């Protein structure tokens, strides 16, 4: 019986180590966050060709074991033929709400929340760039 308890304690200790490693994942740098959002926008918003993503501010959040970061972004993009005719080949400055720009920690990696990016309202959040 003592060997079973010792084995159970070892398994529990190993599990805690895995959880601790997940919690220890550092947030991405501003530059890394910009790259993650640029890649996500290119993938999930074919109606825009992304020129740049600038991170204005970020706020880390956590609830129990769930971690995420909201961002205020300035995205410079050009409308493509996959979007509306009115936006085609015009340069825009998009400033989505911070709840629309979220990186979440999944499996030890920071990933952009694709649903939020797909749901950005370009008529509200984007204006012609000067």
Q: Where are the domains of the chain?
A: 26-128
Query: CB–CB of 102/71 below 8 Å?
Result: yes
Q: What is the pLDDT of residues 89-111, one digit of tens each?
A: 999 999 999 888 999 999 999 99
Angle value at C-alpha 74, between 77 and 94, nearest 5 degrees: 50
- DSSP run (H or E) holding 122: helix 122-125
Q: How confident is the model at residue 82 (pLDDT cuts 50, 70, 90)?
A: very high
pTM (whole model) above 0.85: no
Query: CB–CB of 115/40 below 8 Å?
Result: no
- Alpha carbon 107 to chain centroid, angstroms: 14
Main-chain phi, psi angles of 104, to 5 degrees: -120, 150
């Amino acid at each position: 019986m003592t060997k079973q308890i010792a084995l159970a304690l070892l398994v529990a200790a190993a599990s805690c180590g895995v959880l601790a490693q997940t919690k220890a994942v550092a947030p991405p740098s501003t530059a890394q966050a910009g790259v993650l959002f640029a890649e996500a926008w290119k993938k999930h918003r074919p109606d825009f060709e992304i020129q740049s993503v600038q991170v204005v501010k970020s706020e880390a959040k956590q609830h129990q074991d769930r971690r995420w970061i909201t961002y205020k972004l300035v995205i410079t993009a050009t409308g493509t033929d996959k979007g509306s005719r009115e936006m085609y080949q015009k340069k825009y400055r998009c400033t989505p709400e911070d709840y629309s720009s979220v990186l979440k920690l999944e499996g030890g990696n920071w990933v952009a929340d694709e649903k939020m990016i797909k749901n950005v309202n370009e008529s509200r959040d984007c204006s012609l760039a000067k």
